[in-house]
């Protein structure tokens, strides 16, 4: 059984750079354009101090109260359902069925 061996050129000869040319060799310095001085922009704290329509604030308070009531009713409903499942031992029954099931 004979093995065929082919010799390749060394890696140094395969990956020789074509020529190193600096990308910044032809660049000429450009003057930096200066901006004229203008009036300062309005700051964030001044934007929040502007008057807000009271009707818009009432709508926001109503929406916040509505979402709060819905969240509280949902949490209360979940606790009632959990208490019912714990009293009837439904969670233990499901756990026993899972433990007894063959895989």
Q: How large a percentage of the chain has pLDDT more than 70?
A: 58
85 by Cβ neighbours in 10 Å (0-12 / 13-18 / 19+) ranks as: middle
Residue spans of the domains in the chain: they are 74-103
- Contact of 91 with 85, CB cutoff 8 Å: yes
Higher pLDDT, 3 or 102: 3
The pTM of the full predicted model, rounded to 2 decimals, is: 0.42
Report angle CA 34, 36, 39 to the nearest 5 degrees.
140
**What would the two tokens of residue 47 be?**
């934007």
Judged against a pLDDT cut of 80, whether residue 8 lies above it is answered with: no
Report d(CA 94, CA 85) in Å as an integer. Answer: 11
* Whole-number pLDDT of residue 44: 64
* 68-100 pLDDT, tens digit each: 999 999 999 999 999 999 899 888 888 889 888
Any residues with CB less than 8 A from the CB of 91 and at least 6 apart, and which?
85
């Amino acid at each position: 059984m004979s093995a065929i061996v082919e010799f390749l050129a060394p890696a140094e000869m395969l990956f020789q750079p074509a020529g190193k040319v600096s990308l910044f060799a032809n660049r000429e310095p450009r003057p930096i354009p200066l901006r004229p001085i203008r009036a300062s922009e309005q700051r964030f704290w001044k934007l929040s101090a502007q008057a807000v329509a009271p009707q818009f604030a009432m709508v926001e308070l109503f929406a916040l109260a509505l979402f709060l009531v819905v969240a509280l009713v949902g949490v209360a409903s979940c606790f009632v359902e959990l208490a019912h499942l714990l009293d009837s031992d439904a969670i233990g029954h499901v756990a026993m069925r899972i433990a007894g099931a063959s895989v």
